[in-house]
Chain A
C-alpha cells in the first residue's frame, strides 16, 4: 500500500509539474496573454473586483502553501476558517453584483436609445447581362 501511495504521488507530482511547465512556457512565449487579466468588456478598462480577486487568491494560496509545509512533524492540510472563505465570497459576490449592474445598464440603454430602427434604403435591382446577349 505504501508503494502504491508513493507511485501515485510521483505520478500526480510529475503531471502537475508538466502542466505548470507548459503554462509557464506558454506565458513566456506570449501564447497565453495576460493583458486583460484584470480588465474586461465592454470598454476593456481594469476592473477593481478582478484585481481584488487576484490579490486574495494569491494571498490565500501562498498562505495555505506556507502553512502546509510548516506543519510539524510532517506537512498536513490545515483547517480553513469560515472567515477566509468569506473573504473570497465577498470578493466574488461584489464581482458578480458589479457585472449585474453593468449588464442592467447596457440593456436599459440599448432598449431606450434605439426605439425605432431607421428605414432601410430602397433596394435596386441590377440586370446582369448574359454572356451571349446583346446589350
Chain B
C-alpha cells in the first residue's frame, strides 16, 4: 500500500507540476495568446481589468499562503476566507463587468 501511495503522489506531483510549468512557460514566451488581456473591446487600456487581475492574484496568493501555513503548523486544511475577500472580489467583478457592459453598449 505504501508503494502505491508513493507512486500516486509522484504521479500527481509530476502532472500538476508539468501542467503549471508549461502554462507559465508558454504565457511568458507568448505561445499562449495574452494579447488584449488588459484592454477593452476597443483596444484601449482598461483600469477595470487591471484591478480585477490584481485582486485575483492577491486572493490566490492569500489562499495558497494560508494552505502552506496550515501545513507548517501541522493542521493542514483550506483556510476559512474572511468576508472582506468576497466583498473585494464581488466589487472587483462588478466594476469589471459594469465597465465592459458600458463600453460595449456605448458603441457609436
Contacts and interface: CB of A to CB of B under 8 A. Distances in A.
Interface of A: 6, 9-10, 13, 16-17, 20, 24, 27, 34-39, 43-46, 48, 51-52, 54-56, 58-67, 69-72, 74-75, 78-81, 83-84, 86-87, 90, 93-94, 97-98, 101-102, 105, 109
Nearest to B80: A81
B45 interface: no
B76 A60 contact: no
B4 A94 contact: no
Given A27-B22, A58-B20, A62-B16, A46 B34 contact: yes
Contacts, number: 155
Given A45-B35, A69-B9, 8 more contacts: A13-B7, A34-B26, A35-B31, A35-B32, A38-B32, A48-B49, A51-B56, A94-B97
Contacts of B89: 87, 90
B28 interface: no
A35 B8 contact: no
A83 B52 contact: no
Nearest to A5: B1
Nearest to A69: B9
A48 B53 contact: yes
A55 B57 contact: yes
Contacts of A39: 33-36
Contacts of A54: 23
Contacts of B53: 48, 51-52
Mostly helix, strand, loop or mixed at chain A's interface?
helix
B4 A13 contact: yes
Contacts of A98: 97, 100
A106 B60 CA distance: 33
Contacts of A37: 23, 26, 32-33
Contacts of B71: 66-67, 70
A51 B23 CA distance: 11
Contacts of A80: 78
Interface string B62-102: 01100110110010111111000110011001001100110
A34 B105 CA distance: 31
Top 10 A-B pairs, shortest CB-CB distance: A45-B36, A83-B81, A46-B37, A63-B67, A70-B76, A67-B76, A20-B15, A105-B104, A59-B60, A39-B33
